[in-house]
Amino acid sequence: MRRIIPDVVKDQSIHTLPLDGTALEAARMMANRDIGAILILEKNGLLAGILTERDITRRIVANGLDPKKTTVADIMTRNPDTLSPDDSEMEALEIMRVRRYRHLPVTVDGKAVAMVSVRDLYEVMKDELEESIRETEAFVFGDRYGA
């Protein structure tokens, strides 16, 4: 079983804003870093929420709100579901599938340590499947495939 940390997420820097950050700051951070979600932290560093591109689209743009005046606290998902570093990739995928998430924060004692995306999980699962196919071909066909 592969664990979220270190098997899925390695040496990742998480992108965060405080509760009083603006939606515009969040959107620019996501665009500049080519990411789909950021974590929102309380003053004490504990995870307060998650804000996604989808949140900005649905809660700011669709409602005609001013992103310069709207705080992330007003539009984030509060107390999001989280993973622990020891959770498996299959547990993460199941939560994402059932709840229709594309990102999940990873926390330790309420502090964010990483963010897992469906893309991260796809890469790990793809690599596992390719390795399994190579092993099966080596077993079935022997040395013809470099076994």
Q: Which CATH superfamily is domain 4-145 in?
A: CBS-domain (3.10.580.10)
Of the candidates 90, 131, 101, the residue with the CA atom closest to the CA atom of residue 8: 90
pTM, whole model, 2 decimals? 0.82
CA atoms within 13 A on the CB side of 136: 6
Q: What percent of the chain has pLDDT over 70?
A: 96
The answer to whether residue 146 scores a pLDDT higher than 60 is no
pLDDT digits (tens, 9 = 90+) for 13-27: 899 999 999 999 999
Asked whether the beta carbons of 105 and 112 are under 8 A apart, the reply is: yes
Going from N- to C-terminal start, the domains of the chain cover: 4-145
CA distances from 127 to 67, 124, 134 (A): 39, 5, 11
Partners of 50 in beta bridges:
39, 77
C-alpha–C-alpha distance, residues 21 and 17, integer Å: 6
